[in-house]
Structure 1
């Protein structure tokens, strides 16, 4: 069985596939809580995917890539410092946000994921043409 860090690294590597839906379907559970502090909270796979497909999301965002800057674990909790890069279909970058996240892992699944970032940075992405 993979360690919690290995699970989070695998999830993070897959997050760019199909706008994150591949990773969510593989590593979330029906009760996984995903919180983007100050922005959103979802419970389960269907709500998480609905958030990714929400109206008003910039249509230019083809994928998000997680650049892992630091990662550490304390038991089943994995702390990450990341640079999340939002890119167009041609691979050009729309914006990048530096953030901290914490994942709680049970077995091979993520049962809770919380991200903390400057919410003003997200607003800037939404306004980019």
Structure 2
């Protein structure tokens, strides 16, 4: 895919989170996608990654992702993001995140999110 296509793919993917519908994320993933979230153990496979997000959407009242900057080099996309998350009745926590996406065949084959998990937890409890 061209860099412009990969840029658009990831922007559309990030926009999908506002729906809080884990099934809507599935078409973006390769069958054997590998997801590493905030330094946790890798989650392997489309169904497993969708299940992770179903749990996240069930736990958080609001999920609002915003891309601040995005750079594309062929099939690798780097995105500086703010993950806005709020627990039921809580304030929206603006968690800064760096995401790395590897694209294969027009789908996300690998996705790694990097953030300070301890700071994120502090923001969520504020």
TM-score category (smaller protein): 0.7 to 0.9
Select the structure that is richer in helix: 2
Counterpart in the other structure of 1:81: 80
Counterpart in the other structure of 1:116: 114
Task: Write out aligned runs for 1:1-129 (5 A).
Answer: 3-23=5-25, 25-54=26-55, 61-87=60-86, 93-124=91-122, 128=125
Q: Deviations over 1:69-110 (max 9, x none)?
A: 1000111100000011014679x7431200111101123211
Q: Deviations over 1:18-65 (max 9, x none)?
A: 344312x110122001111422421112211222344xx695513422
Q: Please report the RMSD computed on the Cα atoms of aligned residues, expressed in angstroms.
A: 2.8
For 1:53 and 1:75, the matched residues in 2 are separated by 30
Normalization by structure 2: what TM-score?
Answer: 0.80
What secondary structure is seen at the aligned counterpart in 1 of 2:30? coil
Structure 2 unmatched ranges of 5 or more:
none
Normalization by structure 1: what TM-score?
Answer: 0.79
What secondary structure is seen at the aligned counterpart in 2 of 1:79? strand
Count, aligned residues = 124
Structure 1 unmatched ranges of 5 or more:
none
| Conservation of the 8 A alpha-carbon contact between 2:62 and 2:92 | no
